[in-house]
Amino acid sequence: EVVVAAAAPVAGERVVDLGCGNGNAALLAAARGAEVTGVDPAQRLLDLADERLREAGLEATFLAGEAAAMPLEDGAADLLLSVFGVIFAPDAEAAAAEIARVTAPGGRIVISAWIPQGAVSEAAALSRKAVMEALGAPPPAPGFAWHEADALAGLFGPHGFDIATETHPHAFTAASAAEWFETEVRNHPLRLAGAAVAPPEVVEEVS
């Protein structure tokens, strides 16, 4: 909601939601009357987005695609959104170049990124460390600093975009801390990925 409100799409504006997932931002933009296209590599999530779209009585298009290879024409977006999506792209420069290609001249890009500090980030780092140790693999290299204005300026500046950043809190809600944690253990993509590759005793320890 914060990202879409900041982007302020208007009726008739062409909006691309990159890494749209199950359609959270796409549906909000469509409700404002924008012409929305959601792009995501996960077909399961695209199917869920389509289902939510029909239930809401809204119009949008959802396509399978990657951050560095969107199935869209040059200049297809007046506004490109990515809510905690493009930050997971393995090649930031390739993703930025593709975003620049798809965004029309004079268009705007609004991206949200985690700030890698605080309890949630520390917990995720511990989980990654446990899984990588279980696999006997080196720790992953630090990713691109999508949260830093200077890094973004270096990434998008060559494509002609000016950079501005804002910081917002993100509330996690549940009946209790224990209930919130249990939900994360059951559903978080990092936890599920770890369970697929780590020995059972490591999964239990992380849980």
Dihedral (Cα; 8, 14, 61, 63), 10-degree rounding: -100
CA distance linking residue 170 with residue 193, whole number of Å: 24
Per-residue pLDDT tens for 20-76? 999 999 999 999 999 999 999 999 999 999 999 999 999 999 999 999 999 999 999
CA distance linking residue 99 with residue 75, whole number of Å: 9
Per-residue pLDDT tens for 79-110? 999 999 999 899 999 999 999 999 999 999 99
CA distance linking residue 158 with residue 185, whole number of Å: 41
Tokens of 7: 């982007």
43-56 vs 24-31: helix axis angle to the nearest 10?
A: 30
| Residue among 125, 99, 124 at smallest CA distance from 111 | 99
Per-residue pLDDT tens for 152-207? 999 999 999 999 999 998 887 889 988 987 887 777 766 676 666 655 555 455 44
CA distance linking residue 158 with residue 100, whole number of Å: 10
Is residue 16 within 8 Å of residue 42, measured between CB atoms?
A: no
Three-state DSSP class for 1? coil
Tokens of 103: 């965004």
Q: Which residues of 153-176 are buried (b: 16+ CB within 10 A; e: fewer)?
A: ebbbeeeebeeeeeeeeeeeeeee
What does the angle CA 50 – CA 38 – CA 148 come to, to the nearest 5 degrees? 135
